A and B are shown apart, each in its own frame.
Chain A
Amino acid sequence: MSMTMQRPAPPAQGPAPRRAPTNRRTRTRSLIGAAYAAPTAVMVGLFFVTPLLLVVWMSLHKWPLLGQPTFNLPDNYAGIGDNQLVGSAVWFTLKYTVIMTVLLFSLALGLALLVQNRRRGVGFLRTAFFLPMAVGFASASLLFLGLLSDEVGPVSDALRAVGLVDGYVSWTSGSANSALGSTVVLVLWRFAGFNMLIMLTGLQAIPLEVYEAARIDGASRWQTFRRITLPLLRPTIALVLTLMITGSILAFDQFWILTRGGPDNSTTSLVMVIYREAFIRLDLGSAAALSVALLAVLVIVNVVQLGVLRRRSH
């Protein structure tokens, strides 16, 4: 198996105007086009725009899982401040986002640099780094639950053998730090290859002549990396960082499956709190208010990213 990177299709162009079109033909054609786009419009309208408005509407109401909603603004939003679990989940999610983004970014960039040039074995390496992506994230979380368990997993045995730990160890629920560490390792394993591939696409879009020119000017490897690779890679880096930050803020599966939010709620993320409000405390209104707050944060993150991308294209 080898990976080939293909250049993206040429930039989008609108349909060329027809030669001397009669008004009626244009109108018929635009009706036909609208008809083909209708399924998309229905899907987007019904399952995206409607729930987006609905979640805001719900956040203004006391909305039990069963029974009639009643207007209660601003109780749901006020309740966010009083909910102690929200406070700890916000801090934990922020901490997790910073740790995860720094480590995942460094690893993915390192891997991309390692495999960017054609040489022997590079196809195998790319596939090896990328293969974890084929395992669903929930499955990967279960895989690591076994891998890190003392019952069947080899990790504790190996560390005991070299004397790093002794006795029974519970990585995923032993302590707050080891539970967080377990999820970090899981996410690194699962997503490093994915992000490596995006950065590889960015690296390969840098023209070879630029490197050539730098070499002739006598730039060192480090200078070339700092002054050429990093600046030209900026749009890709912005994209990858946004994906990582957004993904970390929305983390759920890994904690739900691997650590169950524990020990003592120490790894309970924001989305877990939303789930808990909705389906354990059966309070959809307060879950909706949390969702709206989270959405606002994510929109800001995305706007910042767009700003970075814009700046580069001017």
Chain B
Amino acid sequence: MNSFSFRRFRAVLHKEWLQIRRDYFTLRMIIMLPVLQLFLFGYAINTNPKHLPTGLITADHSQDERSLIAALQNTGYYDIIPLSSEAQGEQGLADGSLLFVVNIPPNFDRLVDRGEKPTILVDADATDPSAIGNATAALAGLSNVLDRDLPPNLRSQPAQAPFQVAVHARYNPEALTVLNIVPGLICIVLIFSTLFVTTLAITRETERGTMENLLAMPLRPAEVMLAKVVPYIVIGYVQVSIIMVIAVAVFGLPVRGSLLLVALALGLFITSNLLLGVTISTIARNQMQAIQMAMFMLLPSFMLSGFLFPFKGMPVWAQWIGQIFPVTHTLRIMRSVLLKGDGFMDVLPELWPIILFIAVIGVIAVRSYRETLD
């Protein structure tokens, strides 16, 4: 009587499956939501934005100025809008219609020809540093655009440093945000659709008044818990398949490593979320409380996992908290397997923390299942 009964587990499993199947709305939601979110965020989030509105203040239209402006536009970051006055530029920066104002001093080409090294002033709206970061960095490359038009003595001097640094943007040579975002987005989208479904699993029974009956029956906690989690693992894999197909077909996500490894990691990740959901569900007194607790878990998943902000940029204590969450490790596995083609041994250091989390939360879930109404 006190041991796990497969038959009782199967009975609850069958019941859960029937209930899931009849709840068309939720079923459609948990399939459609990830797809929608993937499209929405996949296209929307871009940390390397181009075509930023740039005001240009210039007195005359010399040959040198035209070269400079052409070079600015060729970086792809600047969309030039000619302005008539400095006041107009100030206004544009203030109201947000301009992110940059480029001010070329009068008699620019004459000053260049005389070798007076005139200063071009670039005002940038730095309220969002990440939005202008790459564009500003591109300015550095402009110093020698006039070289081919100038006599040798006026050309910019070669770098004084005795060595040169060459940066290769590996795995993502074009630094496309989408390649960074999509593997992480898969994880985040899965949290939404898996954590919440089981968060309501037990509280729903309580609120519908069916819990008292369930408790009065000869069921063991583990039988109920497992039966509530297993159907969603199956549904979770359906979600993963759809998401992966979209990520590859629409967003051009490369799959350089093993898909089987991706499936394993995501399977563990889904399980950890479902178990966390069930645990929340047993602790919360009602559905409202359960949702609040789930939201409480969501924010650190976004902020501390390395999804939105670079993990290495966080203070050590925040990194420690981030390490607890399975999403942090799954995210790394996804990026390394998909983008770098890493194998099982490479990602093992990220796999075991997820497994540990599952073990710990599983025990907590079964322990916190109240067997009485007290």
A binds B: no
